[in-house]
Amino acid sequence: MNWSPIQDVVDWGSVPDWFGAVGSIASVLIVYLGLRREIRARRSDDLRIRAAQARLVSAVVEIRGTSVLRVAVANESDAPVLDVAVLARLVAPDGTPVELAAPKHVRRIPGRDVQDLFVTVTAEHRLRPADTVLVDLTFTDHDGNRWHRIGAGQPEPVE
């Protein structure tokens, strides 16, 4: 019996109904968060597997004189890498990289091979033995995945 002159038109249910509704929403949220975590883990595993060959491609720089760099691009994997682009950058004292020359391109580096490239630095730059030079490598692995690697950092997929 309602003592109020205004009749309730909405039935708000009982406390057990409310607990049931909140529990249902919480369980859906927990399932969603678990599924999202699983998807992220699988993507991370997939990227790690795809990057197996990319981690075996690296470059070492040697400064020769004041205007020449020798860049040795090594492919330690069993499969060839294709369309390799090598860009040498000088790390300035403030930490910003400065391009030293136009990118050099190599069409194919066979597996278990090292390709030596000689980069002539532009006239406005003079190299010193103490300079820090980073190499940006961009290449395509045997499976057709395109990768970018800066110095000794981890390879990142190119979108």
The pTM assigned to this predicted structure is 0.75
Extract the tokens encoding 40: 């992220």
- The C-alpha atoms of residue 136 and residue 100 are separated, in whole angstroms, by 12
- The C-alpha atoms of residue 136 and residue 97 are separated, in whole angstroms, by 11
The predicted pLDDT at position 135 comes to 96
The predicted pLDDT at position 85 comes to 98
Residues of the chain with pLDDT under 50: none
Give the position of tokens 């981890």. Answer: 154
The predicted pLDDT at position 46 comes to 84
Which of left, alpha, beta for 95 (phi over 0: left; psi -120 to 50: alpha)?
Answer: left
Element (H, E) at 43: helix 15-50
The predicted pLDDT at position 2 comes to 56
- The C-alpha atoms of residue 115 and residue 122 are separated, in whole angstroms, by 22
